[in-house]
Amino acid sequence: VYSSLEGILPTLALHSILLPFNAYRLWEILRTTRQMRSLTADAKVFEWLSPYLRPVPLEKDQYVFRKGDPTDCLYIMRSGKLLLEEIGVTLEGEQIFGEIAFFTNQRTRTVSARCLDHCEIMKVDEAAFMRLYNQHPAFGLYIVRLTASRLLDGLQRSPEVYLDPKVRKAILESAEKEGV
């Protein structure tokens, strides 16, 4: 409007050309915002992951990973029962797990995951997981929410599991000196 009132034709032409692009980008932002608001732990998350899933057959008492193992993939349990040993959490049914290790400085597993019975588990390699995380904002938000809720739950149950080993050692030494 300003360009047309003042007769600045180059600016008017530029903004006229950019208007459809900006309108399309606004529509994309609004659509993504709606998707993120309505996102829950539904089939959409598993739908995004399905092209990248590879089976990992595990029987009772087998470990999916142990605390300290390097992070190489994200896991999805389709069926069965799994114990996150250090924090005493049992996962059942269709669940994503192993996501927290991707966001640690050490890039290692923070707890051990052991099957309590026959488990149908699928895995997604790190490259595919990070590509989905970066390319789908709704998926990224789901993973961030899942990670935050699991960390808060784990910190409530067993805060010592999440402490750096040096910090934990210093706390224990301090407690011993004070006779606690």
pLDDT of residue 115: 94
Beta strand extents in the chain (DSSP E only)? 54-58, 63-65, 73-79, 81-84, 89-92, 95-97, 113-115, 119-125
Backbone angles phi, psi at 90, to 5 degrees: -105, 130
Half-sphere exposure for 57 (CA within 13 Å, toward CB): 0
Which amino acid would we find at residue 89? V
Rounded Cα distance, 171 and 160, in Å: 10
pLDDT of residue 107: 87
pLDDT of residue 46: 75
pLDDT of residue 165: 67
List all residues 6 or more positions away from 43 whose beta carbon is below 8 Å from its beta carbon: none
pLDDT of residue 135: 82
Secondary structure, 3-state, 44-78: HHHHHHHHHCEEEEECCCCEEECCCCECCEEEEEE
Report the 10 Å Cβ neighbour count for 77: 24
Q: What is the mean pLDDT of each run of 10 residues along the chain (180 residues)?
A: 86 92 92 70 68 88 92 90 90 89 86 91 91 82 87 81 69 73
Residue 108: strand, helix, or coil = strand
pLDDT of residue 81: 92
List all residues 6 or more positions away from 41 whose beta carbon is below 8 Å from its beta carbon: 142, 146
